């Protein structure tokens, strides 16, 4: 029925001495960009360099939630397109990415929060994206396990209900994109670390790796949490990024109990039930910069406290696995997608924080366009690096952030 | 089933009968039984069905390494019945079955394994696209093990404790107890954690000789007694260690006993040094149907008999790779089990004494043989044994197959703390290579097997831990090291990973139904790192976590990749090492909110208290949601408001002014005596982060307020931005030390006059004034004459302990004017009418001081250099394309736009921060952040509400304040 088992992303290729483009990082963004470069722009002579194995970083550590209910008009259409790409990619890659279009409930615990949600909802509706403000009773109808009583720490006032969102099997996206990219001729080099980036006359000329030197006119930096360090150490380009640990965990598997993604900014907790039946749950990043992927006792306990109130039936469920990844946060919680500035041929795709998963497909598409043409597509222009020196932060978050070292 | 009732090793009490309900029948267990042993005693052999193939599953280990015996107990899913003590009246249900565990309607799935190779779901069900949503539903239904009801209520008491110890020992077996005793002898405080309900570990159930005619179990009890008599050892039994974090933070959960006041409790231990002595579990033997009910591990069979008095079967075959298998076979044979064959994977290296004893018992012993197939549909009926080369076969009838390939050291507590593992060729195990600082390992997990060596390694670890705590133990260390060197070291382990089989039904992970064949498929597809195989096949991600596949998976991957040095590693072990209830982690789940000193007064006056950040605050007092009464009372009469949540600080010292100059945008050297200065702080982007007032109480001594939300960050903010200057100033956060009443309205003075011991006339205490006086000859008040709500008003700051009294006095004095409380919502409307902003409401993270119209709070000529945000304020001063705050008035006052509505034309141009119908002005007015060109007076704003279906609202930009633009009412 399944024929012979062949390597999904081809046999391990030999590292060539030159490529048309080199992508640093075998995560979702790197693989997606490689895929679209090859598919849409005929640039197939591409090397994806991955220090560990593909999907090692954020790609395999996120909680697989997808949605397009961002706050600003610069972001909303971008995430909308990303959302629409899941079924298309499933078909194109011939790999089931298991998009479960269950919808997201973003709980609100005060009148002020309901008003803030309304702004996002109006923004979504203005862009033709479905999103509604619903009250606590409607929340309970959608998620019967929810506690809508008044006597909890943060009683639920209502929610932003966003039906187009859901969950996608994150590992499948990594493997599917790797499969698609390699089919078009992209070389995926695992266990290959970048050790330096060569620049001459402000132009990218080469990339050094622990397996040899590669001549190339284009480099994409998409190394997730490690991007800022690579950018600074290898090119001297400082990025306004704070790296923080972000943690998540799953419970033992259960028969279906949560039919929607449930999240609460106030409780600092979200939960979704994976197709395997585990409740995957996480929250905000740790509030201090940290390059480790170590978990903390405080976090799992906090998560239990939040879930025990929001979804009290889960008190009878057991946590099973707790892990951590890195979130690369910019001051405005929006990413940096930029290129040819300050170095020609140097493209950046980083600062995604915890939005990297849901955005990967759209990012790949537009970055590939950028790298192929050298011209920044309109969709990416708001995400330039210079906005920080011009004090023009994006409005993805209303509240003041307190993770940067100066706060 | 009759119990062996005379064994000295038993941990049961046959006199105590306990009943349980299973499959609509009542069964009897006895005291000390776990749920699984009670069911086993009642002849239950099939406990559940497996996840994918619905294969029958039974008792395989006794420490919860797989989901075979996970069941639903009293509505709680996935309970590990192997180590959950039986309690009277428990209702037990099998999981993942349609019908019963014995007769599961889904049992046919086992024949469909060909259709479900590794990761089949990634390659199927998506073509054509419309079938996926249908398939998805089936996938969801099929997945998951236990069920929980959305209405389920978890009863019981959940505690939490946070003890501190010098040494924390994990594992109450011989090594752990020895370590604890050794460290305790040095006078240290020791915590000892043991997951079973008794101390004893690996010695507890064994009848073999320890030394000098003492049996191992006797030695275990002797050690346990000494431990319990040692006052500086705090032993926690029935306590599973679940997490190890930075700096020796150890977490565990304890199951309460009958006399305990809790059902479970979360324990978080901070220890100076940690000893891990968690021993080993067994490495499963991989052969066809290796998880058939009737197949079990050595210690499972042995402990069933020795601990629970249950002979595990009648006719048994052993297929093992370790002397423990020989010892167990002999012991069980002595207890009455018929054993026809003991097949030992090893060609040589057995203890000759054990081999001779087997011969004496006429048990046939096969060297270099292994089980390759268990026969029988629902339980083992027969086994095929084979030489390990697969050249000769032999079928043997049996109902029990004791199978085990070797040992798996329980290194989880170490690797959680970042220890490295390395493959050890001698033992065939992954052993700890590099231990974290102040963490030590002892006992079997070091590969040791000899009882004396195990104890000696415990002594050594105990001494090393004591040394970490500063004890002088050099001589003891040297001596113990020498003693350990003279004792037998690790024994050669069995290397066999799989029996000579194709592996279609050889399960490397029981929980996920992952077979050897699946792993091969994954490897062929390029998933060539253990971690990738895990993710692709799901091996090791079930409720039993890595217990079953833990070491077999990397060994198998290494073997497949012909990597003789075994560079593959077990996948990363994650906490909790043992699945733990969310209820236990949540513990008592305190709500740590703060209440102002006027909380009770407000509540008794009908205040609706709501959580707002860390505080509980009075949201409103009126019955109408518009708070009309509260608002009009302030405008026409007098109201009182609890503003105690304001951040309040004292800063003093020779360089206090410099610090103020650094963080405030304005010129703080221009604070007049007896006057209040309104001031704002920005961040480096010039964005407004706080506003408040500052008063000068003396030379180099200031008192200032911040917004409620910034109270927690302010001291750190000052310290951070002055960190290189070495300035001499002190700060203290007085937020909780002072309560604040805002007395506001045209009659405010009349009320204050009645209680104040000083002249508060407009001349004596004008607008923007600051005074200190007493009320009732006693209460010291700091009074600020401000006007946030747009009326004559006084902020009265008093020590929190006086707040209740002052609140009462003011309320009493105001009675004759019919003073009323007002809450947050009324304040919100009042200040909006006045055009005053609240940071976070009319500002975003990206909003500068300019954007929000407070440019006048910035002094560009301030001589003090390096004001935080000044550079950005200069650079953004004339920048275009920013969102700017504008006041607007609705064309149709009867429809006030909802807060959060957006301003649009062909794109989004801004949004409404707040809009209300003003009862005073009879207009719908509001504040919006809009693209700067739209902020011009007279611009028509098109407003898009959510769910508006294209019906826009219209407003016009007007100047602010809307109310009393000249500010006359403030100066009344």
Whether A314 sits inside 8 A of B900 (CB atoms) is: no
Between CA A171 and CA A176, with CA A174 as vertex, the angle to 5 degrees is: 105
Superfamily of domain B647-733: Aminomethyltransferase beta-barrel domains (3.30.70.1400)
Q: B598, B716, B699, B595: which is closest to B649 by C-alpha?
A: B716
Q: Mean of the pLDDT values across residues A197-204?
A: 98
Size of interface A-B (CB pairs under 8 A): 312
Strand partners, B211: B214
Whether A394 sits inside 8 A of B144 (CB atoms) is: no
- Whether a cis peptide bond, with omega within 30° of 0, leads into B576 is yes
Which residues does chain A have within 8 Å of residue B610's beta carbon, measured at their own beta carbons? 110
Give the per-residue pLDDT at B260. Answer: 95
Contact (Cβ atoms closer than 8 angstroms) between residue B300 and residue B289:
no
Banded model confidence at residue B32, pLDDT cuts 50, 70, 90:
very high
Domain coordinates in residue numbering, chain A: 1-99+167-239+332-407, 104-163+242-329
Percentage of the residues of chain B whose pLDDT score is greater than 90: 95
Whether A126 sits inside 8 A of B543 (CB atoms) is: no
Percentage of the residues of chain A whose pLDDT score is greater than 70: 97
Residue ranges of A 257-316 with Cβ closer than 8 A to chain B = 257, 275-277, 294-297, 300-301, 303-305, 307-309, 312-316
Q: B499, B525, B503: which is closest to B513 by C-alpha?
A: B503
Place of tokens 């956060």: B733
- Give the side-chain half-sphere CA count within 13 A for A39: 22
Give the per-residue pLDDT at A3. Answer: 64
- The Cα–Cα gap between B548 and A179 comes to 31
- Pair of tokens at residue B217: 């179990």
Helix axes B323-335, B352-360, angle to 10 degrees: 30
Domain with CATH 2.40.30.110 in chain B: 880-972
Banded model confidence at residue B353, pLDDT cuts 50, 70, 90:
very high
- H or E stretch at B418: none
Note whether A144 contacts B: Cβ–Cβ < 8 A. yes
Place of tokens 């209520």: B153
Which listed CATH number (2.40.30.110, 1.10.3720.10, 3.30.70.100, 2.40.50.100) goes with B880-972? 2.40.30.110
Mutation site for B-interface testing, chosen from A304, A330, A384, A407 by largest number of B Cβ within 10 Å? A304
pLDDT tops 90 at residue B613: no
Domain with CATH 3.30.1360.120 in chain B: 600-644+737-830
Give the per-residue pLDDT at B815. Answer: 97
Burial of B104 by CB count in 10 Å (0-12 exposed, 13-18 middle, 19+ buried)? buried
Q: Mind telling me how many Å the CA of A13 is from chain B's nearest CA?
A: 12
Q: Mean of the pLDDT values across residues B325-346?
A: 97
Whether A53 sits inside 8 A of B875 (CB atoms) is: no
Q: Which residue has the higher pLDDT, B623 or B343?
A: B343
- The CATH code of the domain at B287-404 is 3.50.50.60
Whole-prediction pTM: 0.95
Contact (Cβ atoms closer than 8 angstroms) between residue B591 and residue A305:
no
Q: Mean of the pLDDT values across residues B387-400?
A: 97
pLDDT tops 60 at residue A403: no
Q: Mean of the pLDDT values across residues B271-290?
A: 97
Which residues does chain B have within 8 Å of residue A158's beta carbon, measured at their own beta carbons? none
CATH class name, domain A1-99+167-239+332-407? alpha beta
Banded model confidence at residue A43, pLDDT cuts 50, 70, 90:
very high
pLDDT tops 90 at residue B864: no
pLDDT digits (tens, 9 = 90+) for B545-565: 888 999 999 999 999 999 888
The full DSSP string for B922-971 is: TEEEEEEEEEGGGGSTTPEEEEE-TT-TT--EEEEEE-S-SS-TT-TGGG
pLDDT tops 70 at residue B834: yes
Do the first three CATH levels of A1-99+167-239+332-407 and A104-163+242-329 match, i.e. the same topology?
A: no
- The Cα–Cα gap between B741 and B738 comes to 10
Q: Mean of the pLDDT values across residues B276-292?
A: 97
> Strand, helix or coil at B838?
coil
Strand partners, B908: B904
pLDDT tops 50 at residue A99: yes
CATH topology for the B13-124 domain: Ubiquitin-like (UB roll) (3.10.20)
- The number of residues in chain B equals 972
Strand partners, B23: none
Give this complex's ipTM: 0.96
Residue ranges of A 53-72 with Cβ closer than 8 A to chain B = 53, 55-56, 60, 72
Superfamily of domain A104-163+242-329: D-Amino Acid Oxidase, subunit A, domain 2 (3.30.9.10)
Place of tokens 């043997």: B396
Give the per-residue pLDDT at B223. Answer: 98
Whether A169 sits inside 8 A of B882 (CB atoms) is: no
Give the per-residue pLDDT at A288. Answer: 85
Which listed CATH number (3.40.350.10, 3.40.50.720, 3.50.50.60, 3.30.70.3270) goes with B158-281+409-486? 3.50.50.60
Kind of pairing between the strands at B507-509 and B439-441: unpaired
Contact (Cβ atoms closer than 8 angstroms) between residue B162 and residue B268:
yes
Percentage of the residues of chain A whose pLDDT score is greater than 90: 91
CA distances from B592 to A300, B467, B595, B613, B678 (A): 18, 39, 10, 11, 32
Q: Mean of the pLDDT values across residues A392-398?
A: 89
Superfamily of domain B600-644+737-830: Probable tRNA modification gtpase trme; domain 1 (3.30.1360.120)
CA distances from B717 to A134, B662, B711, B713, B844 (A): 38, 11, 10, 6, 19
Contact (Cβ atoms closer than 8 angstroms) between residue A23 and residue A46:
yes
- The number of residues in chain A equals 407
pLDDT digits (tens, 9 = 90+) for A149-170: 998 999 999 999 999 999 999 9
Arithmetic mean of pLDDT over chain A: 95
Which residues does chain B have within 8 Å of residue A257's beta carbon, measured at their own beta carbons? 148, 150
Burial of B768 by CB count in 10 Å (0-12 exposed, 13-18 middle, 19+ buried)? middle
Banded model confidence at residue A406, pLDDT cuts 50, 70, 90:
very low
- Whether a cis peptide bond, with omega within 30° of 0, leads into A237 is no
Contact (Cβ atoms closer than 8 angstroms) between residue A325 and residue A58:
yes
pLDDT tops 80 at residue A94: yes
Which residues does chain B have within 8 Å of residue A112's beta carbon, measured at their own beta carbons? 841
The torsion defined by the Cα of B807, B810, B814 and B815, in degrees rounded to 10, comes to 60
Give the per-residue pLDDT at B865. Answer: 64
Q: Mean of the pLDDT values across residues B170-195?
A: 98
Burial of B623 by CB count in 10 Å (0-12 exposed, 13-18 middle, 19+ buried)? exposed
The three-state DSSP-derived secondary structure of chain A is: CCCCCCCCCCCCCCCCCECCEEEECCCHHHHHHHHHHHHHHCCCCEEEECCCCCCCCHHHHCCCEECCCCCCCCCHHHHHHHHHHHHHHHHHHCCCCCCECCCEEEEECCHHHHHHHHHHHHHHHHCCCCCEEEEHHHHHHHCCCCCCCCCCCCCCCEEEEECCCEECCHHHHHHHHHHHHHHCCCEEECCCCEEEEEEECCEEEEEEECCEEEECCCEEECCHHHHHHHHHHHHCCCCCCEEEEEEEEEECCECCCCCCEEEECCCCEEEEECCCCCEEEEEEEEEEECCCCCCCHHHHHHHHHHHHHHCHHHHHCEEEEEEEEEEEECCCCCCEEEECCCCECEEEEECECCCHHHHHHHHHHHHHHHHHHCCCCHHHHHHCCHHHHCCCCCCCCCCCCCCCCCC
- Give the side-chain half-sphere CA count within 13 A for A393: 27
Q: Mind telling me how many Å the CA of A200 is from chain B's nearest CA?
A: 33
- The Cα–Cα gap between A359 and B63 comes to 43
Which residues does chain A have within 8 Å of residue B930's beta carbon, measured at their own beta carbons? none
Between CA B223 and CA B231, with CA B229 as vertex, the angle to 5 degrees is: 125
Banded model confidence at residue A407, pLDDT cuts 50, 70, 90:
very low
Give the per-residue pLDDT at B866. Answer: 87
Which residues does chain A have within 8 Å of residue B581's beta carbon, measured at their own beta carbons? 315-319
- Pair of tokens at residue B616: 């509980």
Mutation site for B-interface testing, chosen from A3, A391, A395, A407 by largest number of B Cβ within 10 Å? A391
């Amino acid at each position: 029925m399944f024929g012979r088992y062949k390597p999904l992303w081809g046999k391990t290729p030999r590292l060539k001495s030159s490529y048309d483009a080199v992508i640093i990082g075998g995560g979702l963004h790197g693989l997606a960009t490689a895929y679209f470069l090859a598919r849409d722009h005929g640039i197939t002579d591409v090397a994806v360099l991955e220090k560990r194995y593909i999907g090692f970083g954020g790609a395999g550590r996120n909680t697989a939630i997808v949605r397009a209910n961002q706050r600003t008009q610069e972001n909303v259409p971008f995430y909308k397109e990303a959302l629409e790409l899941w079924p298309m990619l499933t078909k194109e890659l011939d790999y089931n990415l298991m998009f479960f279009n269950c919808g997201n409930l973003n709980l609100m615990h005060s009148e002020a929060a309901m008003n803030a949600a309304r702004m996002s909802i109006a923004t979504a509706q203005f862009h033709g994206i479905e999103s509604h403000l619903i009250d606590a009773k409607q929340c309970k109808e959608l998620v019967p396990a929810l506690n809508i009583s008044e006597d909890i720490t943060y009683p639920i006032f209502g929610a932003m209900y966003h039906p187009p969102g859901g969950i996608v099997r994150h590992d499948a996206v990594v493997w599917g994109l790797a499969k698609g990219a390699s089919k078009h001729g992209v070389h995926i080099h695992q266990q290959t670390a970048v050790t330096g980036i060569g620049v001459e006359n402000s132009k990218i000329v080469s990339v050094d790796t622990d397996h040899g030197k590669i001549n190339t006119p284009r480099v994409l930096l998409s190394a997730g949490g490690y991007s800022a360090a690579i950018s600074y150490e290898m090119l001297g380009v400082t990025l306004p990024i704070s790296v923080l640990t972000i943690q998540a965990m799953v419970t033992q598997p259960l028969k279906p109990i949560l039919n929607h993604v449930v999240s609460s900014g106030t409780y600092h907790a979200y939960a979704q039930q994976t197709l395997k039946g585990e409740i995957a749950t996480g929250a905000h990043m740790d509030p201090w910069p940290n390059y480790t992927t170590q978990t903390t006792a405080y976090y799992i306990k906090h998560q239990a406290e939040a879930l025990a109130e929001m979804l009290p039936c889960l008190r009878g469920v057991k946590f099973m696995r707790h892990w951590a990844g890195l979130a690369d946060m910019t001051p405005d919680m929006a990413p940096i997608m930029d290129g040819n500035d300050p170095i020609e041929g140097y493209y950046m795709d980083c600062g995604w924080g915890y939005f990297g998963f849901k955005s990967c497909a759209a990012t790949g598409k537009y970055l590939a366009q950028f790298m192929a043409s050298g011209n920044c597509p309109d969709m990416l222009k708001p995400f330039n690096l210079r906005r920080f020196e011009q004090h023009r932060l994006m409005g993805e978050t209303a509240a003041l952030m307190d993770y940067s070292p100066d706060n | 089933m009759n119990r062996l009732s005379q064994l000295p090793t038993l941990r049961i009490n046959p006199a105590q009968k306990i009943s349980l309900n299973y499959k609509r029948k009542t069964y009897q267990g006895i005291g000390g039984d776990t749920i699984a042993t009670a069911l086993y005693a009642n002849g239950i052999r099939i406990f559940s069905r497996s996840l994918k193939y619905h294969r029958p599953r039974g008792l395989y280990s006794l420490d919860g390494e797989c989901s075979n015996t996970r069941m639903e107990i009293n509505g709680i899913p996935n309970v590990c019945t192997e180590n959950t003590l039986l309690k009277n009246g428990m209702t037990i249900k099998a999981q993942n079955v349609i019908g019963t565990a014995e007769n599961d309607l889904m049992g046919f799935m086992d024949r469909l394994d060909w259709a479900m190779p590794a990761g089949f779901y990634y390659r199927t069900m998506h073509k054509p696209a419309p079938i996926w949503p249908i398939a998805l539903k089936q996938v969801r239904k099929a997945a998951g093990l236990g069920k929980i009801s959305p209405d389920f209520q978890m009863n019981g008491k959940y505690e939490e404790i946070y003890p501190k110890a010098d040494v924390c020992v994990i594992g109450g077996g011989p090594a752990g107890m020895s370590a604890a005793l050794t460290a305790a002898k040095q006078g240290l405080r020791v915590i000892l954690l043991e997951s079973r309900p008794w101390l004893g570990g690996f010695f507890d159930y064994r009848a073999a000789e320890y030394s000098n005619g003492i049996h191992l179990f006797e030695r275990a009890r002797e050690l346990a007694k000494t431990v319990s008599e040692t006052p500086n050892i705090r032993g926690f039994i029935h306590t599973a260690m679940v997490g190890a974090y930075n700096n020796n933070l150890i977490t565990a959960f304890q199951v309460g006993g009958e006399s305990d006041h809790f059902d479970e409790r979360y324990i978080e231990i901070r220890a100076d040094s940690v000893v891990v002595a968690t021993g080993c579990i067994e490495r499963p033997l991989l052969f066809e149907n290796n998880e058939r009910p009737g197949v079990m591990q050595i210690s499972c069979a042995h402990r069933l008999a020795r601990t629970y008095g249950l002979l595990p079967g009648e006719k048994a075959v052993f297929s093992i790779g370790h002397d423990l298998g020989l010892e167990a076979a002999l012991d069980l044979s002595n207890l009455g089990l018929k054993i026809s064959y003991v097949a030992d994977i090893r060609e040589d290296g057995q203890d000759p004494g054990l081999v001779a004893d087997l011969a004496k018992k006429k048990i046939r012993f096969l060297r270099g043989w292994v089980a390759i197939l268990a026969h029988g549909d629902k339980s083992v009926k027969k086994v095929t044994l084979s030489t390990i080369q697969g050249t000769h076969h032999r079928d043997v009838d049996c109902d029990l197959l004791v199978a085990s390939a070797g040992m798996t050291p329980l290194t989880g507590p170490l690797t959680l703390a970042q220890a490295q593992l390395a493959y050890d060729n001698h033992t065939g195990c992954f052993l700890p290579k590099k231990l974290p600082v102040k963490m030590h390992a002892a006992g079997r997990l070091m590969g040791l097997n000899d009882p004396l060596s195990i104890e000696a390694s415990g002594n050594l670890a105990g001494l090393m831990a004591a040394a970490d705590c500063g004890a002088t133990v050099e001589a003891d260390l040297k001596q113990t090291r020498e003693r350990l060197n003279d004792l037998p070291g690790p024994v050669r382990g069995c290397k066999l990973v799989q029996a000579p089989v194709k592996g279609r039904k050889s399960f490397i992970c029981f929980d996920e139904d992952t077979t050897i064949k699946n792993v091969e498929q994954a490897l062929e597809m390029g998933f060539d790192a253990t971690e990738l195989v895990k993710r692709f096949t799901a091996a090791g991600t079930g409720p039993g976590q890595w217990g079953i596949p833990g070491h077999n998976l990397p060994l198998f991957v290494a073997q497949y990749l012909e990597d003789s040095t075994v560079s593959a590693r077990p996948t990363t072990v994650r906490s909790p090492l043992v699945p733990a209830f969310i209820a236990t982690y949540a513990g008592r789940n305190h709500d740590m909110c703060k209440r102002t000193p006027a909380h009770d007064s407000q509540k008794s006056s009908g205040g609706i208290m709501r959580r707002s950040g860390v505080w509980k605050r009075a949201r409103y007092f009126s019955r109408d949601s518009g708070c009309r009464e509260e608002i009009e009372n302030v405008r026409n009469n007098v109201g009182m408001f609890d503003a105690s949540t304001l951040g309040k600080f004292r800063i003093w010292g020779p360089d206090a002014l410099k610090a103020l100059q650094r963080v405030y945008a304005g010129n703080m050297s221009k604070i007049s005596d007896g006057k209040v200065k309104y001031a704002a702080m920005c961040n480096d982007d010039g964005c407004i982060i706080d506003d408040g007032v500052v008063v000068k109480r003396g030379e180099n001594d200031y008192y200032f307020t911040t917004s409620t939300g910034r109270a927690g960050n302010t001291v750190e903010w000052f310290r951070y931005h002055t960190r290189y200057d070495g300035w001499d100033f002190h700060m203290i956060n007085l937020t909780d030390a002072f309560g604040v009443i805002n007395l506001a309205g045209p009659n405010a003075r009349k009320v204050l006059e009645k209680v104040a011991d000083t002249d508060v006339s407009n001349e004596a205490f004008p607008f923007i004034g600051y005074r200190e006086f007493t009320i009732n000859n006693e209460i010291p008040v700091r009074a600020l004459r401000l006007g946030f709500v747009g009326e004559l008003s006084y902020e009265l700051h008093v020590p929190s302990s006086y707040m209740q009294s002052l609140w009462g006095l003011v309320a009493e004095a105001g009675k004759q004017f019919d003073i009323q409380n007002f809450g947050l919502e009324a304040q919100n409307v009042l200040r909006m009418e006045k055009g005053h902003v609240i940071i976070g409401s009319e500002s975003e993270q990206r909003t500068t001081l300019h954007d929000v119209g407070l440019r006048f709070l910035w002094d560009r000529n301030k001589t003090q250099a390096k004001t935080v945000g000044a550079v950005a304020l200069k650079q953004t001063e004339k920048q275009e394309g920013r969102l700017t705050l504008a006041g607007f008035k609705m064309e149709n006052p009867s429809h006030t736009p909802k807060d959060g509505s957006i301003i649009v034309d062909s794109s989004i141009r801004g949004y409404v921060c707040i809009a209300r119908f003003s009862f005073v002005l009879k207009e719908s007015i509001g504040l919006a952040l809009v693209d700067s060109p739209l902020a011009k007076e007279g611009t028509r704003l098109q407003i898009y509400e959510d769910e508006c279906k294209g019906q826009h609202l219209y407003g016009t930009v007007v100047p602010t304040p809307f109310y009393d633009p000249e500010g006359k009412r403030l100066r009344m």
